[in-house]
Structure 1
Amino acid sequence: MTSYIGPEKILEKKKKYIMPCLGHFYQNPPEFVKGKMQYLYDNTGREYVDFFAGVSVINCGHCNPEITKAVCDQVNDLQHVCNIYLTENFVNLAEKLAEVTPGALQKSFFCSTGTEANEGALLLAQLYTGNDEFIGLRHGLHGRTKLTMNLTGISMWRTDPHPVGGIHFAPNPNCYRCPLKRSYPECDLECANMIEDIISYATSDKVAAFIAEPIQGNGGIVVPPKDYFKRVREILAKHNTLMIIDEVQTGFARTGKMFAIENFGVEPDIMTMAKALGNGVPISAFIASPKIADIYVKPGASTLGGNPVSTAAGMAVLKYILEHDLMKNAQKRGVQLKEGLQDIQKRHPLIGDVRGLGLMVGAELVNKDKSPAADKLDKIAEEMKDRGFIIGKNGVFRNVLAFQPPLIITENNIDNMLDTLENAIKKFE
């Protein structure tokens, strides 16, 4: 029988050997030692239903047998030669991505993390346009490297003490907490219209790109109005500015579409992806149309980007999503989850707002005056963990319960979680 050191010893070693910037969930965190589809197990053998999927990574389930087999088979044949050599998986995965991504997106560059993919996409936009400035959204999150951190609109993630110039932020389309104190649709999408003002008055009118998540994940599962991105697209076109869509957290069937931007009827110029592409194996990519991609001719490589094992995982992920129709399950179970949370909301005003698409749903917890109830969220999340359910938390004020389970989650899993959640809310509201 395997022996584990347990949470206390891990915390001791973490304090001694890991940089303190890396926090952890829970006052009493478990040590996870095993995963099986939508379930996690700790060192005592206790089972948990995972409603966060490693932050939207394990879309196909923990240790999915079909994906695991593809990875192990590849490890036994060829583990790594770098992408400057020829391997089949590398080009085959790129071909598949061209098939499943929207519009004219066709040529990919593989790397290992979402941050790398976003950094690469921003560089490509600069190369294509010859411009240096960027526009991001307040409450967006794009990474931890110099440029991506500076395009992140959440102060807790901006640890860089020397900000990059030429970066501007537009109000994010959060209809529950409108930064402009307006109401949709009477607002006429003023948050989008302000991008025109920003370009005209705060920039040199030579903006390389606008970058946004189609649904802001860390910002609190913020879903824009249906016509938001169309309006933004019109404005960007007038100023020859590219649109980069960050699908790192929203991609690969999570919202009921292969990519979340498809819910808004807009085709991006460049798109980034990571997380669920490898179902836990580190892989990311940015993809563009040939017109844009072909400007990138000066030598560039990523040593581990798209290696044989990670691309084998990516191929298996796409195959599993399509063969098992995870988009349909995300739609059906997403409706069940969202309606269930809205039903609880009717009885418990601690839930101020429920929002999301597919199996990316947030429940914002608030006090009677609509102020963020982050302290109550922490207690509820701890209670849910103790009762066998792992739920995420996000939002600028860390007061949004984040439900992003593996896309193979069942109707019964969701019903049980909702019943348990209502009991936890009763205990702490």
Structure 2
Amino acid sequence: MTKYIGPEAIIEKKQAYIMPCLNHFYEKPMQIVRGSMQYLYDSTGKQYLDCFAGVSVINCGHCNSEITDKICEQVKTLQHVCNIYLTENFANLAEALAKITPGDLQKAFFCSTGTEANEGAALLASIYTKNSEFISLRNGLHGRTKLTMSMTGISMWRTDPNPVGGIHFAPNPYCYRCPLGKKYPDCDFACANAIEDVIRTNTSGNVAAFIAEPIQGNAGIITPPQGYFKRVKEILDQYNILMIIDEVQTGFARTGKMFAIENFDVVPDIMTVAKALGNGTPISAFIASAKIANTYTRPGASTLGGNPVSSTAALATLEYIQKHDLLTKAKLRGKQLKNGLKKLQEKHAMIGDIRGIGLMVGAEFIHSDKSPNSQAVDIILETMKDRGFIIGKNGVDRNVLAFQPPLIITEENINNMLNQLDDVLNTLKK
């Protein structure tokens, strides 16, 4: 039997050798040592139902043999040569993505992380438009580099003391706590219309792109109403501003569509993907129409972007999603999850809002005066972990339970989790 050092020893090593910006969930964390489809196992052998999928990464399940077997074979055959040399997998992957992306999105540039993809998308937008200003949404999260951190609208993630200039923020479509004090649908998409005010008053008029997540993950699964992105696109087109859609958390069947923006009937000018594309293997891309992509002609490469192993993983992931119809599974299980959480909301007043699409669902916890209840979320996370369930948390005030499980999760899994959550919420009343 394998001997593990345990969580306490890992924390000691973290304190000694890892930068303190990296924290961890739980007051009493476990050491995770193994994964199998929708389950994780710790160093004591305890099993957990994973309801967070490594933050929306493991859409096809942990250590899925239909994917990992192909990865292992590729590692033994050709692991790396850099994308300045010709290999087949990355070209095949670009072709496969062109077949499933919305509209005329056709040409890809591969890199390793969502941050890199968003940075590259911003660069491409500037090359194409010859403009340098950007508009982001409040509470959006786009990365860890200087530019993408500056595009991020959550203060806890904007740790750079000198952010990049020329980035402007518009209100996000947070209907439960509307930043403009409106009520949908009587609001006439005031938050979208505010983007035009930002263009006219905050910018020089030379804006390269607007960037947004179709569902804001770290903001608390903030889900726009139907019609929002259509109105935004109308405004952007009027001012010749590109739309960059960040599908890093939302892509690859999570919402019941291959890409979440498809739920809103809008085709972006540039789209970024990462996370679930490799089902745990680092790979990302920014993708654009040929018209836009063909303006990127000066030398550009990524040492590890689209390497043979990551490309193999991504191709196997796309094949698994389609072969096992994970889009339908996400719709069915997402409906079950959302309906179950709404029933809990009727019983427990501390659940203020349920939102999301498919298997990307958030439950916002509140006090009796509707103020954010982050304390309850922390207690629930810890208690559910002790009962064998891993749930995420997000939101600007960290008061939203995030449900983003592997898309292969079963009906029984979700019922078990909801029953346990109901029991935990009952204990909080006492």
Q: TM-score w.r.t. structure 1 length?
A: 1.00
**Superposition deviation, residue 174 in structure 1:** 0.5
User: Are residues 1:87 and 2:98 paired?
Assistant: no
Corresponding residue for residue 213 of structure 2: 213
Matches within 5 A, 1:29-428: 29-428=29-428
Distance in 1 of aligned mates of 2:202 and 2:53:
40
1:150-172 residue CA offsets vs partner (Å, 9 max, x unmatched):
00000000000002111000000
Corresponding residue for residue 24 of structure 1: 24
Distance in 1 of aligned mates of 2:427 and 2:4:
33
What is the letter of the counterpart of residue 58 of structure 1? I
Corresponding residue for residue 13 of structure 2: 13
What is the letter of the counterpart of residue 66 of structure 2? E
Distance in 2 of aligned mates of 1:74 and 1:322:
21
Secondary structure at the residue paired with 2:24? coil
What is the letter of the counterpart of residue 153 of structure 2? G
Distance in 1 of aligned mates of 2:163 and 2:259:
31
Q: TM-score w.r.t. structure 2 length?
A: 0.99
Distance in 2 of aligned mates of 1:196 and 1:304:
39
Identity of aligned residues (%): 71
Distance in 2 of aligned mates of 1:350 and 1:423:
14
Distance in 1 of aligned mates of 2:205 and 2:196:
10
**Superposition deviation, residue 427 in structure 1:** 1.4
Distance in 1 of aligned mates of 2:163 and 2:325:
44
**Superposition deviation, residue 19 in structure 1:** 0.3
Distance in 1 of aligned mates of 2:201 and 2:177:
26
What is the letter of the counterpart of residue 7 of structure 1? P
**Superposition deviation, residue 410 in structure 1:** 0.1
Secondary structure at the residue paired with 1:340? helix
Secondary structure at the residue paired with 2:120? helix
What is the letter of the counterpart of residue 259 of structure 1? F
What is the letter of the counterpart of residue 351 of structure 1? I
**Superposition deviation, residue 236 in structure 1:** 0.2
Secondary structure at the residue paired with 2:149? helix
Distance in 2 of aligned mates of 1:64 and 1:306:
21
What is the letter of the counterpart of residue 264 of structure 1? F
Distance in 2 of aligned mates of 1:109 and 1:278:
15
Secondary structure at the residue paired with 1:402? strand
Secondary structure at the residue paired with 1:176? helix
What is the letter of the counterpart of residue 367 of structure 1? H
1:33-80 residue CA offsets vs partner (Å, 9 max, x unmatched):
000000000000000000000000000000000000110010111000
Distance in 1 of aligned mates of 2:104 and 2:42:
45
Distance in 1 of aligned mates of 2:17 and 2:351:
39
**Superposition deviation, residue 186 in structure 1:** 0.6
What is the letter of the counterpart of residue 70 of structure 1? K
Distance in 1 of aligned mates of 2:423 and 2:181:
34
Distance in 1 of aligned mates of 2:170 and 2:111:
28
**Superposition deviation, residue 425 in structure 1:** 1.0
1:200-234 residue CA offsets vs partner (Å, 9 max, x unmatched):
11111110000000000000000001100000000
What is the letter of the counterpart of residue 303 of structure 1? T
Secondary structure at the residue paired with 1:306? coil
Distance in 2 of aligned mates of 1:97 and 1:370:
43
Runs of 5+ unmatched residues, structure 2: none
Question: How many pairs were matched up?
Answer: 429
**Superposition deviation, residue 428 in structure 1:** 1.7
Distance in 2 of aligned mates of 1:196 and 1:150:
21
**Superposition deviation, residue 6 in structure 1:** 0.3
Secondary structure at the residue paired with 2:354? strand
**Superposition deviation, residue 360 in structure 1:** 0.1
Distance in 1 of aligned mates of 2:164 and 2:148:
10
Q: For the aligned residues, what is the CA RMSD?
A: 0.4
Distance in 2 of aligned mates of 1:18 and 1:186:
50
Deviating above 6 A after TM superposition, structure 1's stretches of 4 or more consecutive aligned residues are none
What is the letter of the counterpart of residue 282 of structure 1? P
Distance in 2 of aligned mates of 1:93 and 1:99:
10
What is the letter of the counterpart of residue 320 of structure 1? Y
What is the letter of the counterpart of residue 226 of structure 2? K
What is the letter of the counterpart of residue 186 of structure 1? D
Distance in 1 of aligned mates of 2:298 and 2:349:
56
Distance in 2 of aligned mates of 1:56 and 1:149:
20
Distance in 1 of aligned mates of 2:428 and 2:372:
15
**Superposition deviation, residue 319 in structure 1:** 0.1
Secondary structure at the residue paired with 1:362? strand
Distance in 1 of aligned mates of 2:284 and 2:364:
30
Distance in 2 of aligned mates of 1:70 and 1:145:
32
1:113-134 residue CA offsets vs partner (Å, 9 max, x unmatched):
0000000000000000000100
What is the letter of the counterpart of residue 379 of structure 2? K
Distance in 1 of aligned mates of 2:298 and 2:428:
58
